[in-house]
Chains A and B, each alone.
Chain A
Amino acid sequence: MHDKRTTLTEAIAAISNGARVALGGNTLHRGPGAAVHELVRQGKRDLEIVKTAGAYDVDLLCAAGCAAAVSAGFVGYETPFGMAGAYRAAVEAGRVEAREHACATVVAGLRAAIQGVPFMPVAGLQGSDLPAARGFQSLRDPYSGAEVFVVPALMPDVAILHVQEADAEGNGRIIGTRFEDVLMAQAARRVILTAERIVDGEAFVAAPETVAIPGFLVDAVVEAPRGAWPFSCTPYYGFDADYLAAWVAVARDPEAAREFIAERILGAAALA
């Protein structure tokens, strides 16, 4: 057995500045919150964040100066908290590039990476300004002659995923919706798994089909109880509405956001 357990500090230290980082989960749910906080603590720079629909993760990495680009279909806190203020401020000030995708083009780009091909045809996009703004080309189908948009492969340097259970080898069980986590694990060069708890992998043998992430794709496993916080992690906890409301209240103002980060994430009171 290859024991891949390590600390969050070491797992995140292996990520280079400038890396393309895919984050699991969706909007307020099952994002790798603890790992995102560690990216901030280690002061990573120039990251490209990949996600279909991001929220606090993208917003915080923009506020903390970790992100240079965001490749996502949607960034916001949905109806509970609205716009992502720090992301918005960073893009408007030119500090972060919004590489807007249709969520389906993130999926298509990941699939191209998974399948070892340079690009992936994708249905739709007709009439949208996104292809021109993002440089997505169209090709003539050599069989039918129809035009089809193609998006380039989107291969993350690392995917960071938070799961409910993992074993020491990195086999990961996800309870509930898997979102794009499995695609990210397949597409990325490296995979870091954080887990609510580490269990004996023998427990997975009875029903291996319930394991979403096969361990051979995984490079590092970190035990991180409440490691999705402030995102939800079903069935253990919901998203932290009070904390997110406090963050959203300051996120739009770079100075206030920096103070919040210093106090709540870098400071002594930070550790949840």
Chain B
Amino acid sequence: MSVFPAPIAPAEIMAVAMARLLRPGETVFHGVASPLPMIATLLAKRLYAPDLVYLNIAGSIDPEPERLPVSTVDPALLRGSRALVTLADLFDLSARGRLDVAFLSGVQIDGAGRINMSAIGPFARPKVRLPGGAGSAMLMPTAKRVILWRTRHDPRTFVERLDFVTAAGNVDRVVTPLSILVRQDGRLVVESIHPGVSPEAFREATGFPVEVGAATPVTPPPTVEEMAALREIDPEGVVHSEFG
């Protein structure tokens, strides 16, 4: 497998990195506002894990969408699905320990991999009211592993201390435009930094202490095969939508 030669966008590196984290046979879920998880899951199903079970908040099971929606609740995500599930079914699945992977995100993420999606400032009278954690407070402790993704990697996002803990739990990896973090003994540590990211830039962008240096592995760049599959799944570039 050869390395893809052309410039690769951060969104593409993230989608491929997220896809590589999914394993054959896993049951995988994403919720609202999740274009990158949608694309990563479709990519993993095509390349590495054809028997993965893809579930989503739109209610479909293993869909084969003709056109990728930017809203991940969109009925366009039902195409190809042979049965439907409700959101309640999906929470129940996680509650009884049968959901392998949940993709979640946080406006703030701390060094333990906990997230804030609720408020900046006091919860009752916030400086910034955030959208809310959707299902994360329930899914994060109950899904077998949680993959966080965040399209911003800066000190306001990766913080020492959350204003509010919306959810905590079984975070396994965090994928960002700069890196892949892995949780070990309850703390996020660097698994790899993406090609072209310097240890100094990474350290400055991260608001909690992380060990990174010359010996830190570099994320293997997307291969020609991965990029071809990505562009076939997503010819309109929905993968970039979270980078606005």
Contacts and interface: CB of A to CB of B under 8 A. Distances in A.
Given A78-B32, A128-B137, A177 B58 contact: yes
A83 B131 CA distance: 7
B168 A127 contact: yes
Given A123-B96, A179-B59, 18 more contacts: A27-B33, A27-B71, A53-B134, A76-B131, A78-B70, A80-B70, A98-B129, A100-B118, A102-B134, A104-B137, A123-B94, A123-B142, A124-B139, A128-B133, A129-B165, A130-B137, A178-B86, A234-B75
A232 interface: yes
Interface in B52-75: 57-60, 70-75
A84 B131 contact: yes
Nearest to A98: B129
Interface stretch (A35-43, A87-95, A152-160, A215-223): A87-95
B210 interface: no
Interface-centre pick from B86, B88, B164 (highest chain A CB count, 10 A): B88
A180 to B, nearest CB: 7
**A contact residues, range:** 35 or more
Contacts of B57: 26, 53
A75 to B, nearest CB: 6
Contacts of A125: 137-138, 141
B165 A176 contact: no
A103 B138 contact: yes
A91 B132 contact: no
Contact of B128 (A28, A79, A92): A92
B91 A74 contact: no
A239 interface: yes
Interface string B24-38: 000000011101000
B126 interface: yes
Contact of B72 (A78, A87, A124, A177): A78
B98 to A, nearest CB: 12
Interface string B155-170: 0000000001111110
Contacts of B94: 123-124
A179 B95 contact: no
Nearest to A27: B73
A102 B168 contact: no
Contacts of B125: 92, 94
A239 B140 CA distance: 30
Given A78-B72, A98-B132, A177-B59, A130 B32 contact: no
Contacts of A123: 94-96, 138, 141-142
A94 to B, nearest CB: 6
B132 A74 contact: yes
